[in-house]
């Protein structure tokens, strides 16, 4: 009799869990409401609380295998990038009252045997000195809001190039080119010496410019080039004062794939068109 009662309780508990499981659409709707609050709520404590709830709920839904192929396209205040059916990046920004941003990201990595691993990236940008030369990890991440992911086997079987935006502070913005390498077991490393100018190589490329300017940094897959505005100060006496930097009107530079790295190309010819400017430029709000 006791065994029967125990079995009945266990069965009812299982039924209750199944009944309470949310659909992906329900998760998406809840996440969207929280994401909007993160960027629009005037109360900083409230938006920070919404951010924690958003992260917890996102971790919960990403435990479901079917989430890897679900687009979550109705979550407005998030960037979701997917590449070669092995990596999906969920990335968002928390705007703070001091005009800075804190960045968050969760990587959903597909391993062998259809197993998945979740990796949270921890933004430590303020603590990283000379980031162009540093190899970083998921626990020490140079945070950004990524808007494009590039995959080419010539750069490495498990290497991805990322283009991102950073609101920096109230006088400057940044654009970033970074590289992420993921091992077969899901260990994450940021920063590979892929970006070469002559014999000199760096691990990431960072452009700093005026908050009032709009800089283009975009991948052109047809010719395998990352094309970007050449930045100049508004006056010769302002060299190195990046809040006065903006695009030159008549010059674009590029990084082009050359064997197993990105090679810097000066003053390249580009086809001007209305899509040249990035979709993320100033304030992502």
Per-residue pLDDT tens digits for 158-179: 999 999 999 998 999 999 999 9
Determine, yes or no, domain membership for 281. no
- Region 216-235: mean pLDDT is 96
Same domain, residue pair 34 and 102 = no
Same domain, residue pair 199 and 59 = no
Q: What pTM was computed for the model?
A: 0.88
Q: Beta strands 200-202 and 245-258: pairing type? A: unpaired
Same domain, residue pair 70 and 118 = no
Judge whether residue 8 has pLDDT over 80: no
The band of 249, judged by pLDDT with boundaries at 50, 70 and 90, is: confident
CA distance 169 to 150: 27
Question: Residue 36 belongs to what domain range?
Answer: 22-77
28-to-58, 119, 227 alpha-carbon distances in Å: 9, 20, 34
CA distance 67 to 76: 17
Same domain, residue pair 69 and 98 = no
Number of domains in the chain: 2
The band of 283, judged by pLDDT with boundaries at 50, 70 and 90, is: low
């Amino acid at each position: 009799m006791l065994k029967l009662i125990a079995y009945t309780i266990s069965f009812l508990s299982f039924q209750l869990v199944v009944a309470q499981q949310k659909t992906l659409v329900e998760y998406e709707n809840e996440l969207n409401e929280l994401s909007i609050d993160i960027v629009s709520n005037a109360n900083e404590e409230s938006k920070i609380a919404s951010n924690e709830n958003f992260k917890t709920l996102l971790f919960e839904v990403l435990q479901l295998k079917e989430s890897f192929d679900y687009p979550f396209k109705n979550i407005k205040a998030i960037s979701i990038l997917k590449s070669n059916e092995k990596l999906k990046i969920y990335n968002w920004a928390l705007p703070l009252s001091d005009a800075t941003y804190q960045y968050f990201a969760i990587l959903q990595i597909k391993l062998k045997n259809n197993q998945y691993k979740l990796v949270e990236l921890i933004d430590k940008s303020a603590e990283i000195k000379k980031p162009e030369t540093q190899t970083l990890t998921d626990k020490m991440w140079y945070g950004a809001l990524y808007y494009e992911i590039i995959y080419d086997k010539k750069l490495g079987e498990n290497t991805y190039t990322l283009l991102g935006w950073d609101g920096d502070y109230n006088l400057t913005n940044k654009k970033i080119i970074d590289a992420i390498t993921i091992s077969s077991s899901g260990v994450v490393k940021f920063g590979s010496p892929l970006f070469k100018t002559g014999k000199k190589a760096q691990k990431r490329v960072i452009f700093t410019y005026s908050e009032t300017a709009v800089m283009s940094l975009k991948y052109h897959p047809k010719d395998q080039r990352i094309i970007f505005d050449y930045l100049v100060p508004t006056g010769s006496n302002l060299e190195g004062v990046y809040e006065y930097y903006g695009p030159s009107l008549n010059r674009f530079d590029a990084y082009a794939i050359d064997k197993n790295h990105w090679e810097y190309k000066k003053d390249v010819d580009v086809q001007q068109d209305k899509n040249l400017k990035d979709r993320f430029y100033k304030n992502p709000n």
